Amino acid sequence: MLTRTTLAMALVFSIGACKKDDKAAKDEPEPTAKTPADKPADKPNTKVADKPADKPAAAPATIAIKAFKITINGSGMKDGKKYKTTMIVSMDDKGVVSAEGDTPVEKKEKTVVGTMTADGKLSDKDGKVLLTMAADGTVTPSAGGAKGKITVDDKGTISMDGAPVITIGEDGTIKFEKGQSETAKFEGDAAARQAGALAVIAMMMPGEMKDESAGVKKADKKADEPAVKAK
C-alpha cells in the first residue's frame, strides 16, 4: 500500500513537473502572426498606345520574262472605204517590248516602247513606270484613270472588276469578251502570257507608250515665213 509520504512526494513531483512545463511554455516566444508581404503598388500604365500599323504595300509579282508575239488584226475607215490593219506587240527574252503596225494608210515601223521586269513593272523607254502588277494579279496604272479593278491571272486573262474582258485560249487565240471586231493571236511560251497581257493593257492606255508605238516621227513644224520677204 502506498503511504501518505509516498503520495505526498508523488504529488510534489507531479506539481513540480507541471510548474516546470508551464515555465518552459512561458519561456518559449509566442509565435508572431505572419503578415502577408506588402503588395507592391501597381506601376502607373505608361505604355504608349500602339501606333496603327501602316498598311503593307502590295507584294510585287514575279512574272516570267520570255519572248512572245501578239498580232492584232483590225480594220479602219478612210474616205468612206474600209481597210484592214495589223498591229504587232512583242517582247524579247530581255523584257524589251516593241510595237509595229501596217495599214494601207501608213506603215508603223518596229519601235521599242518599253521594258518589262520580273517584279511586274512595265516602264516606257525613258524608264517611267507605266503600270505595276502585284502578286495577286492586280494591275495599277501609274497615271490612274482605271474605271475598275484590273487583274491578270497566270493564264493571261484580263479582268475588270472580276469579269473577264480579254482571254487567251489554249491555241493562243485571243478573245475579246465584249465582241470587238479585232482578232488576235498570242505566240510564245505559256509562261509569257501574263507579260503579254500587261503589254496589251499598256497599249490600250493613253499616254507615251501608245504614242511611241506609232513609230512615225512627226515632221518638225516649219517656221512661219515672214509675210514680207526682206529684199
pLDDT in tens, 163-213: 999 999 999 999 988 767 789 999 999 999 999 999 999 888 765 444 444
**Torsions phi, psi of 195, nearest 5?**
-60, -40
Closest-CA residue to 69 (of 165, 167, 200):
200
* Alpha carbon distance 169, 97 (integer Å): 22
Backbone angles phi, psi at 152, to 5 degrees: -135, 125
Task: Quote the pTM value.
Answer: 0.63
Work out the percent of the chain whose per-residue pLDDT is above 90. 43
Per the CB < 8 A criterion, the answer to whether 104 and 83 are in contact is yes
Reported as a single tens digit per residue, the pLDDT across 1-46 is 444 433 333 333 333 443 444 444 445 555 555 555 555 556 655 5
Q: Say what the alpha-carbon torsion angle 212, 113, 182, 162 is, to the nearest 10 degrees.
A: -120
Residue 215's pLDDT is: 39
Rounded to whole angstroms, how far apart are CA atoms 131 and 199? 10
> How many Å separate Cα 223 from the centre of its chain?
50
Q: What is the pLDDT of residues 60-92, one digit of tens each?
A: 778 999 999 999 998 888 888 888 899 999 999
